[in-house]
Amino acid sequence: MLEIRGLTAGYGRIDVLRDVSLAVPGGSIVGLLGPNGAGKTTLVRSICGMTRVHAGEILFEGRPIQREITEQIVAFGIIQVPQGRMLFPELDVGENLELGAYHKRARRDYRANLERVEGYFPILRERRSQAAGVLSGGEQQMLAIARALMGKPRLLILDEPSLGLAPKLVDDIFAVLKRINADGVTVLIAEQNAAMVLELAQYVYVLENGHLAHAGPSAELARSEKIQRSYLGGA
């Protein structure tokens, strides 16, 4: 579904990513691991048309998208849940969800989509009239994911969804991501929480200093002594 070939990208003249290649097959969950500063967010932003691509290609279902504007990329079906959630705190939950369905394809199925996302996150139905800014951190992350789902993504990209959340909430959110994938949405998740990503994803890429350092099936990487030492706290 998504293929990245030899991507070099960054900000101004500074390259954060250098010659990165990866693939996200349709129907899969793919993980992107790496420490702070490795380039995970830059890669997510590059896919979504928010960072300058200096070299290489980003293909979505065979179509080059590295020169497309973000609005067109969303229309193709690629939707991001950004790091930090980026909600509209003064608007209520329902209004935030409505903003997620701004393009024509999503507006047409608004009611069905709303019922679906509130099925994933029933607390949002209870909180529909509350301002997003007064929700707990976990509820805000649920709202950010739900807002993205209101846009009917074919590829859902999440950037650090576990950041700042208690372990129980992380477990709950990752369980919902499994359901979302089972319902037909392809998922790419960029995370520092290696244990959770290796459990959730079928295939994992590891970024270090803007380069791909490791890649492989999650079960294989979980057995790697280097991954154990660097990301799982192994001796």
Residue 4: is its pLDDT beyond 70?
A: yes
Q: Cα–Cα–Cα angle for 120, 169, 189, nearest 5°?
A: 70
Average pLDDT over every residue of 90-110: 90
Three-class SS of residue 61? coil
Helix spans in 159-224 (H): 167-182, 194-200, 218-223
Residue 223: is its pLDDT beyond 50?
A: yes
What does the pLDDT read at residue 89?
95
Question: What is the pLDDT confidence band of residue 100, given thresholds at 50, 70 and 90?
Answer: very high
Average pLDDT over every residue of 121-137: 95
Determine contact, residues 206/214, Cβ cutoff 8 Å. Answer: yes
What does the pLDDT read at residue 98?
94
- Residue 62: Cβ within 10 Å count: 7
Higher pLDDT, 18 or 230: 18
Residue 233: is its pLDDT beyond 70?
A: no
pLDDT tens digit sequence for 109-119: 899 999 999 99
Q: What is the CATH number of domain 2-231?
A: 3.40.50.300
Average pLDDT over every residue of 117-131: 96
Average pLDDT, the chain: 93
Percent over 90 (pLDDT), the chain = 84
Average pLDDT over every residue of 48-56: 95
Phi, then psi, of 26 in degrees rounded to 5: -60, 135
Question: What is the pLDDT confidence band of residue 124, given thresholds at 50, 70 and 90?
Answer: very high
Average pLDDT over every residue of 152-160: 96
pLDDT tens digit sequence for 175-222: 999 999 999 999 999 998 999 999 999 999 999 999 999 999 999 999
What does the pLDDT read at residue 235?
44
pLDDT tens digit sequence for 65-89: 999 999 999 999 999 999 988 999 9
Q: Is 45 exposed, middle or buried (0-12, 13-18, 19+ CB in 10 A)?
A: buried
- Return the domain boundaries, the chain: 2-231
d(CA 112, CA 21): 36
What does the pLDDT read at residue 234?
53
